[in-house]
Amino acid sequence: MVSIEIEAFTRVEGNGGAEIIIENGEVKDVRVKIFEGPRFFELLTLGRHYWDVPDLEARICAICYLSHSVASVLGIERALGVEVPEEIMLLRELGLLGELIESHALHLYLLVAPDLFGYADAIRMASRHGEVVKEGLTIKAFGNYIREVIGGREIHGINVKPGGFGRYPTIEELERMERQSEALLKLARRAVGIFADQEYLGAKAEHYVAVNGYLYGDELIADDGEHFDYFQHIEEKTLPYSFAKQSRYKGEVFMVGALPRVMLKHEALTPMAKHLYEEYKEKLSQGYASLNNLAQAIELVYALERTKEIAQNLLDRGIKGENVPVEPREGEGIGYVEAPRGVLLHHYRIDEKGNIAYSNIITPTAFNHAMMELSLYEEAKKRYGSSDEVTFLQKLEETVRAFDPCISCSVHVVRL
């Protein structure tokens, strides 16, 4: 038995690698290893007052901090029986859209595009394809602008709170979002063409899982028509070679992320995004993991269109800026959010004083862990013996990259 190591994935967030096990000249097994250290977030929030918890949970991940704050706030509000008006939900959605724009732009233009153009990174790519890199940075900066306004800071702002917000956006800020989202649509539209040409990599998932709403909701859905709470059909197990746990849906490997979202929820897409979905429907339904990149590009168009819609809507009706009072009481709740890379949930039990008594967090990269391994396995099997080693490893890395893994997030998937 020999094994080939991918020592550390590059152009991904966090520290992870893989081991490909070869036996009798054939690929026998693949293990995705997460060696980002454990961070024990469930222990961190235990006993803390609910008000402070979303700020702490945001620190799980910088790329999707707002998804974590919003999931945390939704879980807490459900536990405490709090209902917020539409205005607050629209603003939260706006924040999630900003995050999706920032995160997808980072992933597509800075992390994936260098593979398609044949460079080690976006900085080297910029010498010949400066316009592509620049367009990506412009879109990403816009996403960050929304995160700053709604979230309170580009990274780890604390503005999203149970019951509402610390600060509400001004008319000028909303007008800027409306204007810029319109202007950037053209660039995002062009990106779809670039990523549509990527070759097929990885495996096809046995199932797709997503949240029932496009970016947030109150339950999960799957491609077999099931509506469910995560603990009903998703099982987790601990691995000896990784700080992340693995999940199965009804015992089978499944995928979360842009591709499952677009496939399961295309009805909810905005006009131009829906049109693009129709155009690439046949390709997307091939189901290979690498098509997640194309789905992300379509979602970039969706997010910009939807941002414009929400900004217009809020400008028309005017911002009231009234928080809902929150009273501590005993309760349990789950917040379901679509982080840019897929389903994210925060599950809490709160005691009568308002302190956290139980918490469980499952992140998209944890959900995708088994699917990442399966994809690497299929890709390695296909290429072993026919590709030279450099190409072999490069293609395996591209396969992992398609999941847009967020490894910092994945290491505290836990049940207490």
Partner 1 sequence: MMLKLGVFELTDCGGCALNILFLYERLFDLLEFYEIKEFHMASSFREHDTLDVAIVTGSVSTQRDLNLLHYARNHSNYLIALGTCATHGDVQASVEGKIRDKLERVYGTRANPMKALDSTPIVQHVAVDYALPGCPYDKDELYQVLMNLAKGVEPPTKDYPVCVECKLNEYECVLVKRGIPCLGPITLGGCNAACIKCHLGCIGCRGPLPKEANPASEFEILKELGYDEEYIRRKFKTFARGELRW
Residue closer to partner 1, measured from CB, 110 or 344: 110
CA 143 to CA 129: how far, in whole Å?
A: 22
Stretch that binds partner 1, among 123-131, 263-271, 277-285, 337-345 (CB under 8 A): 123-131
Helix, coil or strand: residue 28: strand
**162 is a contact residue toward partner 1 (CB under 8 A):** no
Joined together, the tokens standing for residue 287 give 């189901």
CB of 123 to partner 1, least distance (A): 7
**13 is a contact residue toward partner 1 (CB under 8 A):** yes
CA 178 to CA 163: how far, in whole Å?
A: 25
β-sheet bridge partners, residue 246: 237
CB of 26 to partner 1, least distance (A): 27
Residue closer to partner 1, measured from CB, 54 or 75: 54
Look at strands 331-339 and 216-217 and give their pairing. antiparallel
**40 is a contact residue toward partner 1 (CB under 8 A):** yes
**61 is a contact residue toward partner 1 (CB under 8 A):** yes
Stretch that binds partner 1, among 91-99, 301-309, 384-392, 407-415 (CB under 8 A): 407-415
Joined together, the tokens standing for residue 293 give 């990149």
CB within 8 Å of 282: residues ≥ 6 apart: none
The answer to whether 33 and 8 are in contact (CB under 8 A) is no
CA 265 to CA 259: how far, in whole Å?
A: 10
The answer to whether 377 and 5 are in contact (CB under 8 A) is no
| Binding test (CB under 8 A) with partner 1, winner from 27, 50, 53, 65 | 65
| Binding test (CB under 8 A) with partner 1, winner from 156, 189, 266, 381 | 156
Stretch that binds partner 1, among 3-11, 74-82, 274-282, 379-387 (CB under 8 A): 3-11
CB of 11 to partner 1, least distance (A): 6
β-sheet bridge partners, residue 252: 249
| Binding test (CB under 8 A) with partner 1, winner from 4, 22, 89, 137 | 137
**200 is a contact residue toward partner 1 (CB under 8 A):** no
Number of Cβ within 10 Å of residue 315's Cβ equals: 14
How many positions of this chain bind partner 1 (CB under 8 A)?
66
Joined together, the tokens standing for residue 347 give 């599950």
Q: What is the DSSP string of 123-166?
A: HHHHHHHHHHHHHHHHHHHHHHHHIIIIISSTTT---EETTEES
Residues that bind partner 1 (CB under 8 A): 8-15, 35-44, 47-49, 52, 55-56, 59-63, 65, 106, 110, 114, 120-124, 126, 137, 141, 144, 152-159, 161, 165-167, 238, 240-243, 245, 397, 406, 408, 412, 414, 416
